Amino acid sequence: MGTLIEGYDFIIYGTAAALIFPEIFFPAMGESAGTVAALATFGAAFVARPLGSVFFGHLGDRLGRKNTLVATLLLMGIGTFLMGVLPTAMQIGIAAPVMLVILRVVQGFSVGGEWAGATLFVSEHAPKDKRGFWGMAPQLGATLPNILGSTTFLLTSAVMSQSDFVSYGWRIPFLASGLLVIVGLYLRLKVEETPVFKKEHHRGASRVPFLEAFKKQASAILRGAGAILMVFSLVYFASTYLISYASHTLKLSSSTVLVIGIFGGVAYSLAVPISAVLSDRIGRKKVIGGANIIGAVWSLAIFAVLDVGTVPAFAATSCVTFFIAGLAYGPIGAFLPEQFHTRYRYTATGFSYNLAGVIGGGLGPVIAAILTQSIGGFAFGVYVALLSLVAAGCTFTLRETRNTELDWTEETVLNKHKVVSGH
């Protein structure tokens, strides 16, 4: 539920950045440049995400998962609500986009600590033989906002004129997030701390989790980030740039784009549990790595399908893109936490995840806008295909973690390797 709220806040910004922000925050730049600028503000949050992962990871590894998750939810809720009351460029000039970027950074900072905390909270409670299934709950919370965000904007725009929507209607989805935050806080204050953290905390918390994580598992952190590149690239391409492309290049109506966005979110949400359950049966690496390879192939075909220019072609592009991303995303909630020691798991998992977000999600929509306008859509497809192949390579170099205990230590792994190698 908490990840759903955080994801909703994040996604509605992306939708607004594609549909409305170029007009109300960057009106002097023109349509194309305004779209690039709006999507760049979307990417600003991704720069803050690794910083948030370090800050909240430090708190989560030293003080516990529960209290840290309450803090991330409050911070995100405040930032999103303030966006809903932000004056436009017509009202206060250049101060409007500046304040927009600041609030976007606040969003990114909080999300940087949110995903890892929620994922660890579930995975550290789950039985090891079904950790893939239970670990997909926060992932599902991150996919459903694609449905919820598009639905909110669709309903808002349907009950008012376009001029009213541009004037004040776009604010409603942002202000409505306040109600979701209240529900999320109630739930988070009711839950107990994870048993895995309690056990490790009795041994003594790490003084500086970030430094300890990079001292002992730097390679795993970087390869873990690499394994998720395709997911971020395809998801944020579909949820931001693809919406803008359909609206401004294909000239599809906003309602059509939003309805198809809902179907894309459904495809995304269906793929997550399928791949999560499959990862419990055949292993995380096979599922994630295989999905990354499929993503590389599909990336080369995206604009060929999209440029057919019809509504069915756009719908197929959106749904297939989201579905492939979901196939890799489902097991990540179990796979990444299983790679790291409990002493610094929050920090390492969060930093790995959010580093991938900067490269795949933060830069992706901006690079898509630049490449497609200057070279053509196929160039961006090649870019995403290369990221997907890197993701596949990183995935297959990480250790298989299905049925791994989460209270392992470095000594446990060392002894296991000695037994396997015959020493």
Task: Give Cα separations from 384 to 28, 229, 300, 309, 320 (angstroms).
Answer: 31, 9, 8, 21, 15
75-113 per-position pLDDT tens digit: 888 888 898 888 888 888 888 888 888 888 888 898 888
| Contact (CB, 8 A) for 380 and 238 | no
Average pLDDT estimate for 13-27:
73
The torsion region of residue 84 among left (phi > 0), alpha (psi -120 to 50) and beta comes to alpha
Query: 88 is written with which tokens?
Result: 């436009």
Q: How many residues does the chain have?
A: 423
Residue 248 has pLDDT above 50, yes or no: yes
Residue 159 — pLDDT band, cuts 50, 70, 90? confident
- The whole-angstrom separation of Cα 20 and Cα 8 is 17
Measured N-to-C along each axis, helices 345-356 and 31-63 cross at an angle, to the nearest 10 degrees, of 170
C-alpha closest to that of 115 among 328, 344, 348: 348
Confidence (pLDDT) at 13: 73
C-alpha closest to that of 232 among 101, 114, 303, 322: 322
The alpha helices in 64-94, defined as continuous H runs, are: 65-83, 89-92
Residue 139 has pLDDT above 70, yes or no: yes
Q: 210: part of which helix (H) or strand (E)?
A: helix 209-227
Average pLDDT estimate for 377-398:
91
315-370 per-position pLDDT tens digit: 999 999 999 999 999 999 999 999 999 899 999 999 999 899 888 877 776 777 67
Confidence (pLDDT) at 32: 60
| Contact (CB, 8 A) for 301 and 244 | no
- The whole-angstrom separation of Cα 416 and Cα 423 is 10
Confidence (pLDDT) at 31: 60
Please state, as a whole number, how many other Cβ atoms lie within 10 Å of the Cβ of residue 33. Answer: 14
Instruction: Tell me the CB-side half-sphere exposure of residue 159, using CA atoms within 13 A.
Output: 9
Confidence (pLDDT) at 36: 61
